[in-house]
Structure 1
Amino acid sequence: MTDTLSTEISYTTETEIRWRGLDLMQDILGKHDFAETMFLLITGRLPEAWEKTIFDASLITLMEHGLTPHAIVARLVADSNPDQIQVAISSGLNCVGDVFAGTMEGCGHLLLEGLASDNKEDWCHSTARAYRENRRPLPGFGHPQHKPDDPRSPRLFEIARNAGAPGEAITLLEQFSQAVDETYGRHLTINATGALAALMLEIGISPGIMRGIAVTSRAAGLTAHIAEEQKTHSGRRIWTTVENQFAYTGP
C-alpha cells in the first residue's frame, strides 16, 4: 500500500479554511491572538492561560536588542535591495544561530539531559566540569553586555512561576547555574536564551523547535529596523563607516 502524504496543520476548500481543525473565520479570528494561534499551529492545541502567558513573554523577549548583527545585516541588505523587504529581513534572520539568539536550542537539549538524570546535582557538576575541561561554549550562559546578570532572565522566571509553570526546568537551570559558577570560579549569567530554553520546556516546546521561536520573534524586530532604515538610510553610512575603519595591509 502506498503511503499518503498528509498534514494535520490545515486545509482549505472553496468555502472554508481550517487550522488544526478550527475554522479560521469562526473559531480563531477575533477570538485568539497571535501567540495563542502560533502555539496552536505548533502543538495542535490551544494553550492554557498560564502557557499563553509564558509563550507570549518568550516571543517578546528576543524581538529587539539594538544594532546587533541581525539588524546591521538587514539594514545593509535593505540599502542594496530597497524594494524587497523580505530579502532584508530574511538576511538578518540568517544571523540567528549558535552564537546570537539561537542558543536556546543547545540549552534546551542540555536541560532535557539533566531532567532525565536520576541525580541532578551530580549531573550539574559533571556537566559543568565537562564543558570547562573541553573549553566548549556553554549554551545559555554569558553575555557580552549584560553584567553581572542578564536582567531578562530573572524576570522571565518570575513571569513563568507566577503564571503557574511547574518549574522543573527552571529550577534545574538555576541549580546548574550554581554548579557552573563553582566550576568556573566566576559568575556566568544565565542569558535570555538560556532562560527561554527553560520556559519553552515548561510549556512542552521541544528544543528542535525553539530556534523557530527566536526567528519569529526577531522577524518582528527586524521589520522595525527596516521601517526606520526607509526613513534614515543608515545602511549606506554603516557601509562607509566600516570601510573607512579598515586599513589596507596588503603588498
Structure 2
Amino acid sequence: MNKSEIGYSTSNSIVIRGHDFATDILGKLDFVDLVMLTSVGRVPTSQEKVMLNLILVTAAGHGITPSVLASRMTYLGAPEALQGAIAAGLLGGGSVYLGPTQNIAQSLLDIADQLPKDPNEQQIKEAALQFINESKVQKKPVLGIGSVYQGGDPRVKVMRDLAQTNGFYGLHWKIMDTLAAELSQLKNKQFELNGAGALGAIIADMGLDPLFGRGLMLTGRCAGLLAHLLEEKEKPIAKSVWDLVLAEKKDD
C-alpha cells in the first residue's frame, strides 16, 4: 500500500516526519518550522527562518490587486464560502501577479547552470546578456526587473540587507543584479530589481525548489486575502466595483 513520507497516525499517536505531533511539535515548533519540516524534511536554521518569514510576510502584505478583487467579488456572490473567496484570489497567482517568484528563481538557476564554478564578472555578464537576447527573441519579458515606485522598489534594500546578513547573498543575486545592469545599458534607461526579482534571488540562493518558493508565496497570500475578506465583511467595496461595471455597460 502506498503511503506518504510526510506523516501518519496510529491508534494512539500522530507522527510528522518521524516526530510525534503531540509531544515533539505542538508548543515547540512554530508555523514556519512546520512548513519547512513537512516540505523539506527538517526544521530551518535560524538564518533560513529569517528569510522564510521575509518571503511569507512579503507575500501577505498587499493592497488592492487583481487577486484581491477576485476574492472580494467572489465573497460578494457567496459570503457563506470563505474558502471559495480565498481560492479565487489564489487562482490568479501566475506569471504576472504572485507567481513570478518561481519563474525568476528557475531562470536564475538555469543561468547559473551554464556558468563554470566560481564564475568571474565577465562570465556572469555574458550569461546575462545571452538570457536577455533569448528572452527578446522569444518575446518574453525579463521578470523581476522594473518598478512602479519612484526611486525603485523600497522593499529590495531590506531584502538585500537581510540576505547579506543571513548568508544568502550569492551567485543568483549577482546574476539578478547583472541582468538589471545590462538591461539599463541596452535600453539607456535605469532598471532596478523589484520585490519579485529579489525574492527569486533569495529562493535560488537558499537552494530551495522554485516550486516551494511559489508555495510560500501562495501560503503568505492566504493571510492577506483573509484580511481583505474580513474588511469586505465590515466595509464592503465589491458592490461598488460591480456597480461601476454596470454603469460602464449602460454607457456603452
TM-score (norm 1): 0.91
Equivalent residue number for residue 107 of structure 1: 104
Does the 8 Å CA contact 1:147/1:189 hold for their aligned counterparts?
A: no
Equivalent residue number for residue 122 of structure 1: 126
What are the ranges of 5 or more consecutive residues in structure 1 without an aligned counterpart? Answer: none
Cα shift readout 1:137-166 (whole Å, capped 9, x = no counterpart): 2222223x3234111122111111112225
1:48 to 31, 45, 48: 45
Equivalent residue number for residue 131 of structure 1: 135
Cα shift readout 1:164-198 (whole Å, capped 9, x = no counterpart): 22522222211222122222322233121111111
Does the 8 Å CA contact 1:77/1:88 hold for their aligned counterparts?
A: yes
Equivalent residue number for residue 182 of structure 1: 185
Equivalent residue number for residue 20 of structure 1: 17
Cα shift readout 1:113-133 (whole Å, capped 9, x = no counterpart): 121122322101121233235
CA distance in 2 between counterparts of 1:246 and 1:171 reads 49
Q: Which moved more, 1:95-104 or 1:180-189?
A: 180-189
SS of alignment partner, residue 89 of structure 2:
helix
The structure-2 alpha-carbon separation of the partners of 1:202 and 1:245, relative to structure 1 and needing over 3 Å to count, comes to: same
CA distance in 2 between counterparts of 1:79 and 1:189 reads 38
1:142 to 140, 146, 159: 146
Shift of 1:56: 0.8
Equivalent residue number for residue 35 of structure 1: 32
Aligned residues: 245
Cα shift readout 1:180-230 (whole Å, capped 9, x = no counterpart): 222232223312111111111222211222221111111110000011111
CA distance in 1 between counterparts of 2:157 and 2:114 reads 25
CA distance in 2 between counterparts of 1:12 and 1:204 reads 31
Give the partner amino acid of 2:100: T
The structure-2 alpha-carbon separation of the partners of 1:6 and 1:187, relative to structure 1 and needing over 3 Å to count, comes to: farther
CA distance in 2 between counterparts of 1:230 and 1:46 reads 37
Give the partner amino acid of 2:6: I
Does the 8 Å CA contact 2:173/2:201 hold for their aligned counterparts?
A: yes
Equivalent residue number for residue 225 of structure 1: 228
Equivalent residue number for residue 9 of structure 1: 6
Equivalent residue number for residue 210 of structure 1: 213
Does the 8 Å CA contact 1:132/1:184 hold for their aligned counterparts?
A: no
Q: What is the alpha-carbon root mean square deviation over aligned residues?
A: 1.7
SS of alignment partner, residue 18 of structure 1:
strand
SS of alignment partner, residue 62 of structure 1:
helix
CA distance in 2 between counterparts of 1:28 and 1:98 reads 35
Give the partner amino acid of 1:174: D
What are the ranges of 5 or more consecutive residues in structure 2 without an aligned counterpart? Answer: 116-122
Cα shift readout 1:23-76 (whole Å, capped 9, x = no counterpart): 122212222211121111111111111111111111101212111011111111
Does the 8 Å CA contact 2:32/2:49 hold for their aligned counterparts?
A: yes
CA distance in 1 between counterparts of 2:213 and 2:83 reads 22
Equivalent residue number for residue 86 of structure 1: 83
TM-score (norm 2): 0.91
Does the 8 Å CA contact 2:160/2:169 hold for their aligned counterparts?
A: no
Does the 8 Å CA contact 1:129/1:183 hold for their aligned counterparts?
A: no
Give the partner amino acid of 1:56: N
Do structure 1's residue 73 and structure 2's residue 70 form an aligned pair?
A: yes
CA distance in 2 between counterparts of 1:152 and 1:166 reads 16
Q: Percent identity?
A: 28
Shift of 1:95: 1.0
